[in-house]
Each structure stands twice: as C-alpha cells, then as structure tokens.
Amino acid sequence: AQKITQTQPGMFVQEKEAVTLDCTYDTSDPSYGLFWYKQPSSGEMIFLIYQGSYDQQNATEGRYSLNFQKARKSANLVISASQLGDSAMYFCAMRESNTGGGNKLTFGTGTQLKVEL
Amino acid sequence: KAGVTQTPRYLIKTRGQQVTLSCSPISGHRSVSWYQQTPGQGLQFLFEYFSETQRNKGNFPGRFSGRQFSNSRSEMNVSTLELGDSALYLCASSAGQEAGANVLTFGAGSRLTVL
C-alpha cells in the first residue's frame, strides 16, 4: 500500500482564491510527522509546513495551513490567497519514528498547481 | 545563513562510468540525507548520514554509496552508471539528532544525465 497518496496530479486555481491539495497517509506508527514541500521548476524543494502526529492543533505558516484529520489519516494543505508564484509542484511527505530515529521521508507523487490570473 | 550547497548542478556521463556528487549542509547541521527524483519513480530516499555514520538506507543497489566527513559535508557515489540512473539527486540537511519536528532543508539538486 502507498504510504503517501496524493490523488490530484494537477490543479488550477485563480489568483487570490484558496486551494486545497489533498494528502492521505498510511502508517501504523503512533509517532510520525507530516510535511509539505513546494518544488518550483528550478528543482529546489522548499519546506512549507509541518504537523506532528501528537500536535493538537492544525499547523499554520502564513498563507499555508494544514488540515490534519488524524482519524481519516489525511493532511491536506490549504493555500489561501493564491499568488502566481505559488505555481509549482507540491509534495506531501511523512517521517515515521520507527526508522531508527532518522530523517527518512516518504514522499507522495505530488500535485502540480497552476495559478491563473 | 548559507543554504545547502550541491555540486555539480548538472553533469553528463556515459554508461559504465562513475560519478561523485557533493553536498555541503547548513552550518551546524549534522544530518545529511540523499534522495533520487525521477519522473517514473518520484522521490526516493537513498541514505542518511549523521555524524559520519550511515543512519538509514533506502532500497537501492550497492552501486549507490555515500559518506560523510567530519565537517558534515557528504558525498554520494554511483558506480557503473546505467541509463536509469539519470535523475535529479537532492541532498537535505537537518539539525538535530532526534527527528521530531526537525525540518529537512534541501539543496537545489544535481541533475545527472547518463547517455
């Protein structure tokens, strides 16, 4: 089974509108972390937001928020007030604690977001 | 504060050759991870080094190897290159020993083309 599933290969949103990018995950580890990264065409992965499995509140970072629904195993990224510069590939990733305490991330297949005027 | 630096940014090799990629982490970061990104397989974890020791390893053949130096800089090596090794190789560094909320900061990547 896929550990991280992103079902939207591509999304379009109009400038200034909000958009939700979906991410579901699968793990039996009670302690895990969820990340969202943005990858522009230049290739560099840019960290957006983090949610720990024990965090009580949904994470927020500026225009980014994470809609964390633990029972449904979903961690959707919400981008408010979209900007043209938000056009990029977005990846959801998970780090499980049962990987020896290290930094192994499992990534989803990504969602290509295009912001239009 | 300087980010994660990867060199070279682009390189072209032929089948059978070997390649070495370099990654300089953010100052003070002791963990360096490597990922391979291809259109077909997506982003896949190669290995992670922490304080010069390999802490995690992905499911790649032994042709892929790495090491970390005492200054935390890391190199990865791919021997006997195959066409399928063409990819963007991303390096990420992280500060702490315990994963927790540690964020991985990625470099711009090294794009390898194997002909």
pLDDT of residue A101: 60
By Cβ distance, the residue of A103, A104, A106 closest to B102 is A103
pLDDT of residue B55: 87
By Cβ distance, the residue of B31, B101, B108 closest to A50 is B101
pLDDT of residue B58: 92
Query: Per the CB < 8 Å rule, is A104 touching B58?
Result: yes
Q: How far is B56 from chain A (nearest CA, A)?
A: 7
pLDDT of residue A103: 80
pLDDT of residue B24: 98
pLDDT of residue B1: 63
Q: How far is A4 from chain B (nearest CA, A)?
A: 12
pLDDT of residue B97: 59
Extract the residue ranges of chain A whose pLDDT is less than 70. 1, 98-101
pLDDT of residue B95: 82
Joined tokens for residue A66: 């994470």
The dihedral built from the CA positions of residue A90, A45, B43 and B85, taken in this order, carries a sign that is positive
Extract the residue ranges of chain B whose pLDDT is less than 70. 1, 96-101
Query: Per the CB < 8 Å rule, is B55 touching A100?
Result: yes
A36 near B CB under 8 A: no
Burial of B45 (C-beta count, 10 Å sphere; 0-12/13-18/19+): buried
Query: Per the CB < 8 Å rule, is A45 touching B90?
Result: yes
